[in-house]
Structure 1
Amino acid sequence: MQTYGNPDVTYDFWAGNSSVTNRSGRFIASHAAHTGMIAFGAGSNTLFEFSRFDPSLPMGDQGLVFLPHLASVGIGFDEAGVWTGAGVVTIAIVHLILSMVYGAGGLMHAIYFPDDMQKSTIAQARKFKLEWNNPDNQTFILGHHLILFGVACIWFVEWARIHGIYDPAVGAVRQVNYNLDLSMIWERQVNFLRIDSLEDVMGGHAFLAFAEITGGAFHVIAGSTKWENKRLGNWSKFKGSEILSAEAILAFSLAGIGWMAIVAAFWCATNTTVYPVEFYGEPLKQVFLIAPAFVDSVDYSNGIAPLAHSGRCYTANFHYIAGFFALQGHIWHALRAMGYNFKDLGAKLRVAAS
């Protein structure tokens, strides 16, 4: 975190990031606890929506968010493609159980395990320490993240291929094989909002899995050996050794999260292949109120949808707003990482005003 030249600076309790700046054990604890909160929210809200869901009415008219996500990946249907809700409660309970596991893991890392992984008695654990002036260390951790993301993509592709997902074109769950067409994948970089083929969607995920696992393996190797310094010259500078810090890593993370959230918002608002009308409601209109927003294109004031909005409207606007503020956080922390002292801003404004 930015210390403004004071190595002994202290932060108030609300500056939560400062407590994990140089404590990799606490950093892991916060990640695990945060994951537990997300799992609890997913499980509990799924049960809540399932308790109020009326299968005799269109799902898209009931303002749901979690059930549509399960339905779109083929969970809740029988072999004939009829909605039964089978498996929904199981998924919710599994998430609630996992929330307790993640929560316990967060507590153990916060209370029982070392606050810094460099103090661990396990050699493998010590590799996940935080050394901001050591690009190899950051690259090693990045590689593991990429590999896990790639495995998740493979899981999704194989789920669609073996179990099947919902295809709005046929109104039923069907098995989807991925279309690994590199020209299509390249072309979809600029018009993915209009994608209308589930095979293309799975092809993109298959390619992404390959790219992430390959890149992750490279980063794990490059971050745990010194071969790159001999073969590629001063590789450390290329990897950003002069700009890496806790503040910079936070800025990078917020930039990625913010951009993906805004992309998801536009995709959810307009696409009806990945976000079927049957589950999410009709596509949204883009308007400018106090700020850019998405509004329903049809009237949902039927007394069923909460606050008379579709689940598509809730999902798109939440992602857009969260993405907007994440990008503002990126700018704030990126400037601090580059050494900008926001405490000088007030003085400069006072001088300008006088």
Structure 2
Amino acid sequence: MVTSGGPRPLRGVCAFAPSLDAMTHAAHAADEAGFDSVWTCELYNRSATVTLAAAAMRTRNCRIGSGVIYGVGRSPLMLAAEARDLDELSGGRMVLGIGNGTRRMISDWHGLDGDAPAVRMEELVPLLRRIWNLHEGPIKHDGRFYHLHIQGLDDLASPPERDIPIYTAGVNPRMIESAGRVADGLLGHTLLSPRYITEVVRPAIDKGARHAERDPAEVKVATYTLASANEDEEQARRDAAAMIAFYGSVKSYGLLFDVCGFAEEAKAIQGAFRQGDVDGMIAAVTDAMLDEFALAGTPQQVAEALSRFDGVADEVVLSPPTFRVPAERVAHNLALLTEHCAPGNG
């Protein structure tokens, strides 16, 4: 476990829950509690833009962020338009967090070319900014992944009220470099531990920024972190273990486990996954893995463990485990995190 002193990061909450009503309730509660940001994500059963629109209507002060929206799931034109609408709806509080997912998700879920996801992202982000500034002139873009020919007319080409910040997602070094090259920040994966941020993320951002002749300090590091709070410490740890097992089944995250010293455990999780043995996957998650990848325990223990990210990240987004966790326990966890981990608490 890495511990570090330094500035305390901003704090956010991922209000991802089994229902839209539960998500908007969690967003409202986090905003009232003084959290700096509220984030929602998407999968094959949820849209980040729709849930963010609902969150925008139930919050007043915190930033709202897509963590993440699939950049590959929309054309650049529609992605730019949706982000602009969300920024206006929220009164200038939008953070556009974009991810591609794994190569297989790109090809199997979206039916697109799964090669070179970092290059795809590096083409997309500048194009979004160009669309927002269509008043500067027509766009004639024919790239490797995107083709766009458009000319704005009069007030239809006016820019947004402000520059909407763009954060890109990444786990492996080359994808993290993309944030350094083109984005305002990196949005880290749920299992990015302080060790991984220090040893892999910061150097990769530095490399990407210098490649683009940017100052690495301009690129913020925001990261999700697996946060599981329950009055029953062991229940909290079991819920977190299930989520770690879920992610451990994905080979694309292998480096993350390798760097942190859990290559053999990851192999065991993947072996159980191939057999369809979910209980075996979870059983392969050790206490050491829990301590590395999760903040799990009583509400007070989780609140105290947040200090691990002091001086390491610029923002930490608390993300509740959802895999094999009943809806009522997800909601209870979110309520406990909101109560005990708000920025004003210690």
Higher strand fraction (1 or 2) = 2
| Larger CA Rg, structure 1 vs 2 | 1
Higher helix fraction (1 or 2) = 1
What TM-score comes out, normalization by structure 2 length? 0.22
What TM-score comes out, normalization by structure 1 length? 0.21
